[in-house]
Amino acid sequence: MKKTGYISLDDLQVMYDQGEIDTVVMAFTDMQGRLVGKRVAARHFLENISHHGAECCNYLLTVDVENNTIQGYALSSWDTGYGDMVMVPDMATMRMTPWLPGSVMVTTDLESTSHEAIPQSPRSILKAQIARLEAMGFRAFVGTELEFILFDETYRGAFKKGYRKLKPSTDYNVDYDLLASTRVEPLLRDIRNHMDAAGMYCEGVKGECNLGQQEIA
């Protein structure tokens, strides 16, 4: 299978020198499954951050779904002070983000300022589970089946409505219905092509049974 989307640090240097890339998105997964982090200048990433990482606040692993800080965590609280942790870029994950012109994204590991891994971070937990699996003689292979509901509404419009009474993009069961899903094909095509260009191999897409539901595998 041909690998697409991923670039090396040397590739980034060339693309920066040629004026193609100016921003690096440094990301990690929080406890809610969201990507959080910061955008940094590509030049600063190449000259500095790629060698020692970038700081962020450790409260990011102790918030609720609305990003409010929650008390009672040993990692971060008002009592212990909201200190820093370090986002260490995993260069093997650096990839193009075709939906963000001039940008690439890199997934980061989280460490304390004394360079110890943050065991509570989702990525640390996943790496520990993979290590346990390999110790038993197994290797994980993962294929995603992404299910989502598409609405005839903007994100900000949905927020103003409290995410209630939203109009689904389909009016009936469109499971495997090519004709019905054609109406939203421009969006689905963009998603498929952007996924592939970002290194996420896409098998295909189809309508699903619930109103507005689509599936990408």
Query: What is the model's pLDDT at position 75?
Result: 85
Q: Do the strands 103-111 and 23-29 form a parallel or antiparallel pair, or are they unpaired?
A: parallel
- Given a cut of 80, whether residue 186 has pLDDT beyond it is yes
- The Cα–Cα gap between 68 and 19 comes to 39
Share of the chain above pLDDT 70, in %: 99
Query: Tokens 């700081």 identify what position?
Result: 55
Of 1, 6, 35, 16, residue with least CA distance to 141: 1
Whole-number mean pLDDT of the chain? 94
Query: What is the model's pLDDT at position 214?
Result: 96
Residues of the chain with CATH 3.10.20.70: 9-135
Phi, psi of 93 (to 5 degrees): -100, 0
- Given a cut of 70, whether residue 216 has pLDDT beyond it is yes
Confidence of residue 184 (pLDDT cuts 50, 70, 90): very high
Query: What is the model's pLDDT at position 87?
Result: 98
CA distances from 185 to 38, 83, 153 (A): 32, 46, 16
Question: What is the rounded average pLDDT of the residues 25-45?
Answer: 97
- Given a cut of 90, whether residue 154 has pLDDT beyond it is yes
For the whole prediction, is pTM greater than 0.85? yes
Tokens linked to 45: 């990433």
Query: What is the model's pLDDT at position 1?
Result: 62
Tokens linked to 167: 């109009």
Domain 9-135 homologous superfamily, CATH: Glutamine synthetase, N-terminal domain (3.10.20.70)
- Given a cut of 70, whether residue 109 has pLDDT beyond it is yes
Share of the chain above pLDDT 90, in %: 87
